[in-house]
């Protein structure tokens, strides 16, 4: 076997990366996890996780991530705060270029997750942090007794809109269809919440204000009517995009940029695996991310043994 710095380099420190790290570290492989920001990923912005088994009272996203990090570190997983700039995957020995050095490895696990997608409408960027947000846990309490708008109809949009009603006196939930896509229990809770006013068949077309968000423009897609509503904040949850720009065309990706893998979490390049939200998958949850990661670490271990 050729000489390398690490058996496995895991890219990304959300639930998928931390779980792959846990498994690889327990397998006593020489593994490093590289995280650009801080361990956690999207889970950090989740106020309460109530669909991850083992926590009957629910658990905050931050606390869950802390526990996952602590557990992986107990088995000596090395977590480095660094950014992957590029990779060379053409040889059997993989090369990963970080911001201050280059490292080599037998196998790579891509677990970079996904980020909230933007609408691309006027005002969205200008007012980010000034009323426009995608983190209700972080910013919801600034809207005590105020009026906010939320965009989306999936699990995140609905769950977070319900959370916002703890603070806001009114939440406009703007959804382009006439029914919610969110899971049953969330739908029930939202429809029963009298602080939420649904704007069905509608899209947000603009965000206005002086220094902070003051007004939004909403268009009904069926009638074509446009109206302006007073709102102090605007939360956008219209889905996600993969954090995979750094991959370019190194591995096969689908039309939306998600990494294509088989049931062993193998990408189109031998020795390169992907797990969690970054991969093509029908469901993006913490449970699916950790499940993927266990398989990815297991497959990586077998791949290394076969070299």
Partner 1 sequence: MAEGVMDIDDSSFEAEVLQSEKPVLVDFWAPWCGPCKAIGPAIEELAGTFGNKIKFTKCNVDDNPLSPGKYGVRAIPTLIFFKEGKDVEQITGMVAKSKLEDAINKIL
Which DSSP helix (H) or strand (E) runs through 66? Answer: helix 61-74
The interface with partner 1 within residues 277-296 (CB under 8 A) comprises none
CB of 211 to partner 1, least distance (A): 6
Task: Compare residues 96 and 180 and give the one whose CB is closer to partner 1.
Answer: 96
CB-based contacts of 185, cutoff 8 Å, min separation 6: none
Q: How many CA atoms lie within 13 A of 246 on its CB side?
A: 21
Q: How far is the CB of 41 from partner 1 (least distance, A)?
A: 10
Selected catalytic residue, list 76, 88, 138, 254: 138
Phi, psi torsion values for 112, nearest 5 degrees: -85, -5
Nearer to partner 1, 100 or 249 (CB): 100
By the rule CB under 8 A, 130 interacts with partner 1: yes
Contact call for residue 183 and partner 1 (CB under 8 A): no
Range 86-105, binding partner 1 (CB under 8 A):
99
How far, in Å, CA of 255 to CA of 252, rounded? 10
83 versus 124: smaller Cβ distance to partner 1? 83
Active site residue 138: yes
Catalytic: 139?
yes
Segment interacting with partner 1, rule: CB under 8 A, options 125-133, 173-181, 256-264, 273-281: 125-133
d(CA 200, CA 294): 40
Least distance from C-beta 169 to partner 1, angstroms? 16
**Helix or strand run (H / E) with residue 102:** strand 102-110
Which residues are CB-neighbours of 264 under 8 A, at least 6 positions away? 273, 295, 299
Q: Is 44 among the residues that bind partner 1 (CB under 8 A)?
A: yes
Question: Is residue 217 within 8 Å of 205, Cβ to Cβ?
Answer: yes
Looking at the Cβ atoms of 97 and 187, the one nearer to partner 1 is 97
What burial class does residue 306 get, using C-beta atoms within 10 Å of its C-beta: 0-12 exposed, 13-18 middle, 19+ buried?
Answer: exposed
Please state, in angstroms and rounded to a whole number, the distance separating the CA atoms of residues 232 and 296: 44
List contacts with partner 1 (CB under 8 A): 36-40, 43-47, 60-62, 65, 81, 83, 99, 128-131, 133, 135, 137-139, 141-142, 211-213, 233
* Active-site residue list: 135, 138-139
């Amino acid at each position: 076997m050729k000489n390398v710095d690490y058996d496995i380099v895991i890219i990304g420190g959300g639930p998928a990366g931390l779980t792959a790290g846990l498994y690889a570290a327990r397998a006593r492989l020489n593994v490093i996890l590289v995280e650009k920001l801080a361990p956690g990923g999207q889970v950090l912005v989740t106020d309460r996780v109530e669909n991850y088994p083992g926590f009957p009272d629910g658990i905050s996203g931050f606390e869950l991530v802390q526990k996952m990090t602590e557990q992986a570190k107990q088995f000596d997983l090395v977590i480095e705060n660094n950014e992957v700039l590029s990779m060379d995957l053409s040889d059997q020995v993989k090369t990963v270029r970080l911001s201050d050095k280059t490292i080599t490895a037998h196998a790579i696990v891509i677990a970079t997750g996904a980020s909230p997608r933007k609408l691309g409408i006027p005002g969205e960027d200008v007012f980010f942090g000034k009323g426009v947000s995608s983190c209700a846990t972080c910013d919801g309490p600034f809207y005590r007794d105020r009026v906010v708008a939320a965009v989306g109809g999936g699990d995140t949009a609905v769950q977070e809109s319900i959370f916002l009603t703890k603070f806001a006196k009114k939440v406009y939930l703007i959804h382009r269809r006439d029914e919610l896509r969110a899971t049953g229990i969330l739908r029930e809770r939202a429809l029963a919440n009298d602080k939420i006013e649904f704007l069905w068949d509608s899209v947000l077309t603009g965000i206005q204000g002086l220094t902070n968000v003051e007004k939004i423009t909403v268009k009904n897609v069926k009638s074509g009517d446009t109206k302006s509503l007073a709102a102090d904040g605007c939360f956008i949850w219209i889905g996600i995009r993969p954090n995979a720009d750094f991959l370019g065309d190194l591995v096969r990706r689908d039309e939306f940029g998600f990494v294509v893998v088989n049931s062993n979490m193998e990408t189109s390049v031998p020795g390169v695996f992907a797990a969690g939200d970054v991969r093509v998958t029908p469901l993006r949850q913490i449970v699916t991310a950790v499940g993927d990661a266990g398989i990815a670490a297991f497959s990586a271990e077998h791949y290394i043994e076969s070299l």
